[in-house]
Structure formats: structure tokens, C-alpha cells
Amino acid sequence: MENIKHLYNLQKIDSQIDTLKSIFVESEDKLSDRSELIDAKINIKTLKSELTASEVNLRLNQNKIDDIEQRIAGLEKRLYNGELRNNREIELTQNEQAVLVKQKEEFEDLSLQLMGDIEIKDSNHKDLEGKMSDLLKDRVKLEASLKSQIEDLKKQITMLEQSRIKALQAISKHILVIYESLRKSKAGIAVAVVKGGICDACRIALSSSNSQRVAEANELPRCGSCQRILYAI
């Protein structure tokens, strides 16, 4: 029975080491995962290039409007300076002017649309820049806290590993082989506590004859169902 108590002690140490190591891996993963920042940077860059494209389009559109206005003014001049010789020429010039006025209106509508679009994109861009600045501040805090957590975990794991070495001294070699093999095949839990006649690891009630048989065969009481070493507190 003394052996099982020592094994249970070893199991508690190993389970703590397993838990701390898994937190350690999670913390290292979080520390190296900068995807949120990278995604935010990409979004800002995409929006900025869309904004620039809309601004270029607006400038080009304004140039077209300026050009049409000049042409309309030119026709206006011809209509009123008496250079047109007959009604036919006047009618043609007026028609040409009407077409240009219509074109100008279409380009002006497009300019209004582009200006609205630029306003929205500019506001979204500013929002994203603000969010990015918050993200960067949060990231600095998170990294500092993760680094200190990782250092802390390393110390705790080292201390537990020292306790483990001490715990091993009280356990005979052939029992340790069984323990290690069970740890590998049973998700890290080789020693299960018995509570109210139930194996705490697999939650199955122990049939006394079955458990007894396993116990005699291995010199260790084992759960007849999951084969783990049983420890009655």
C-alpha cells in the first residue's frame, strides 16, 4: 500500500506538471500569434488604397466636368457673338450644347457619389486607425503579461520536476515501468482514486472480484475496467 501512496503522490506531481506545461504551450502560442494585428494592418492598407482610388476617380471626373464646362462656354460664345450664319447652325449648336449639359449632369452625379463614398471610407479609415492604436497598446500589455506568466510557469515546472525526482526515489523500478506505460496509454492518468467503490477516472463501479484478480496478478490494485492503478484515500 505504501507503494501506491507514493505512486499517487507522483501522479499528483505529474498531473500538475502536465497542466502547467499545457498552459505554457498556450501562452507561447498566444505570444507568437500576431494575426489580429496583421489582419488589422491589411484591412487598413486595403481601405487606404480604395480611398486613394476613389480620390483619383473624383479628380479625373472633376477634370472631365471642367472640360465640358469649357466646351459649353465655347458654344455659348458662338451662339451670342453672331458668328453663326443661319438657324440650322444655331439649332445644331444648341443641340450640341444640350448634349454636353446632360453629360455634365451625369458627371456631377458621379462626383457626388464619389464624394459620399470618400467621406464614408475616410471615416472608416480613421476608425480602423483608432482601433489599431488600441490593439497595439493592448498587445504591449498582453505580451508583458504573457512573458511574466511564462517565466513564472518555468519556475513552477522546475520546482515540480525537483519534487518529482524526490518522489521517484520511493518507488521501485518495476512499478514505475507500469506507471509510465499507463500514463502513456491513459491520457496521463495512471493512478485513479477510488471513491464510494467507483473508479474516479473511468467512473465505473469496481466489481470486487475483478479488481481483486487484477490486484493479485500485478501486486497492485487495478481497475477491472480501465486498468489504472487504484488508490483509496
Question: Which residues contribute to the site for Zn ion (CB under 5 A)?
Answer: 199, 201-202, 223, 225-226
Q: In the complex with Zn ion, which residue's Cβ is closer, 132 or 202?
A: 202
Beta strands 198-199 and 229-232, pairing class? unpaired
Helix, strand and coil in the chain, % to nearest 5 = 80, 5, 15
Q: In the complex with Zn ion, which residue's Cβ is closer, 65 or 223?
A: 223
CB of 124 within 8 A of CB of 44?
A: no
Q: Residue 232: which H helix or E strand, with range?
A: strand 229-232
Task: For the CB of residue 141, give the shortest distance to Zn ion in the complex, in Å.
Answer: 45
Task: For the CB of residue 211, give the shortest distance to Zn ion in the complex, in Å.
Answer: 9
Q: In the complex with Zn ion, which residue's Cβ is closer, 7 or 65?
A: 7
Under 8 Å CB-to-CB from 170, ≥6 apart: which residues? 6, 9
Task: For the CB of residue 206, give the shortest distance to Zn ion in the complex, in Å.
Answer: 8
Q: Which grid cell sits at 52?
A: 486613394
Task: For the CB of residue 224, give the shortest distance to Zn ion in the complex, in Å.
Answer: 8
Q: In the complex with Zn ion, which residue's Cβ is closer, 168 or 202?
A: 202
